[in-house]
Structure 1
Amino acid sequence: MDVYSLKNYIIDNPECIEIILEKSGFYNISIRDDEIIMQGYVDAIQPSEKGKPYINIIDWKTSSKFSGKKLDEAGRQLLMYKLGLESTTNLKVDKIMWFMIKYLYVCWKLKNGNMKKKMCNRGKWVSEMRKTLEKDMSNLDIAEFEIELLLDKAVEDNNLNCLPKEVQQKYSLEDCFVEYEATEEKVAELKQYVINTVYKIESKGKDSSEWKPVEITKYDSFYCATLCNHRGHCEYYKKFLNENSDSFEKKKDKFDLENLFG
């Protein structure tokens, strides 16, 4: 079992936090009489504020954010990590959460003293906060045209460095961690979901005609090109690549041309 660890120094906090990355292993989870063995790769394990033996499980998400039904569907993965670690180690899982790398929280204090947080795209958060910033600027002794110029500059730079100190000091940024609640009902639903999925797989034969392929829309589909263990001999993926080879080459040539000058 390969475990990689690093020391992560937080700028605003000199405390050194050890994080375990990509912890892999076979998880023997008792969810039916003959036990189903799952293999998982936990993106990161962090010590909990509760101290030993409690830990937090973190799953990196580079572009996704979830809501509604998709939230619970994505939450199954976190619950699986929790069950796996608790069934194979002496660790106790305190929190399970996603780190939304593409997003951050913009934080500021309201007039009533309450703090407000807004999830924004990390690469264009000033643009998404522009109307709120404009209201703050309008309360200062600044001409309207100058406000627009300053905000244009702030949006371009994606920071508040050019804005008055009164505005800069009002806002702070936090990394976007989204916690998922691990209730008994959700754990029971996960176990039943796994059982049903395994039964569904076992009920089908080896004849490929019994299996409906996923919808493939691009040659570098993350599932087909990266996750699927059958990608090397999948007849559906090969057929898709052959039928679209010309368009793929054109896209590749265009990409190469666009990147010639850095």
Structure 2
Amino acid sequence: MDLPRRKIRPYEVPAHPGDEATTAALATYAADKADALNQHVIGYGDLAEREWAALGLVAPDMDAARRYRLARIRERLQGADLAGILLYDPLNVRYATDSTNMQLWCTHNAVRYALVMADGPLILWDFHNCEHLSGHLDEIDEIRHGETWIYHLAGERAQEHASAWAVELEEVVSRHGGGNRRLASDRLDGEGRDALAHLGIDVVPGEPLMERARAVKSIDEIAAMRRAIAACEAAMGVMEAALRPGMTENDLWSILHAENIRRGGE
């Protein structure tokens, strides 16, 4: 689906369209409401903001950071004469899109992915009905529903699903690759490689490209890292202060997790 470009106003929840509204109107309402209340739009809470202000930590310009990251990837792609890069590693998907969804599950299962074209769109394939998680991200040109052939979802029809997945990717490469059929990927199994090769797509290793792209941080990325470190250290301080004889390790670690989440941690 193509993402509409619209102004997102934090906390301004839209009015419900009514019980008789169409499915499309209700879907638009739900997406606008989710965008207005997205944590990355409204901020990470008064506690974190007070602590960061006390430390003199300036807020990063995340729009600038997103543009910088995407430019880093495309610069590497163009330098390596690649049409684009297909990303499955959740950390790389986050770097390219700044979008997250079920990170731990996606670490173990190839179900959520992004395609960065060197001279074309950034497309994210996500779970069904999860478009609202990325509606605030202007760098993403399109969100589609993902295809997968993991056994848990595809069963004995892995080859069929891999073929359908490859056809969709090949169409994007053909349209935006300028005749270049070389595609990098950070993580791709045999079924995926074979399906793309059958359609004339040459898959090359993409992990080194992403590691080198991510190695050089922008001013805004460094500002974000400083805030993340400060939030972590504050949470660790609360955990240390709560330590008492007889506590279980789980009791102690639960404090760290709670304090981390209070400050916008993931």
TM-score of the superposition, structure 2-length normalised? 0.24
Higher relative contact order (CA 8 A, sep 6+): 2
Considering fraction of residues, name the structure with more strand. 1
Considering fraction of residues, name the structure with more helix. 2
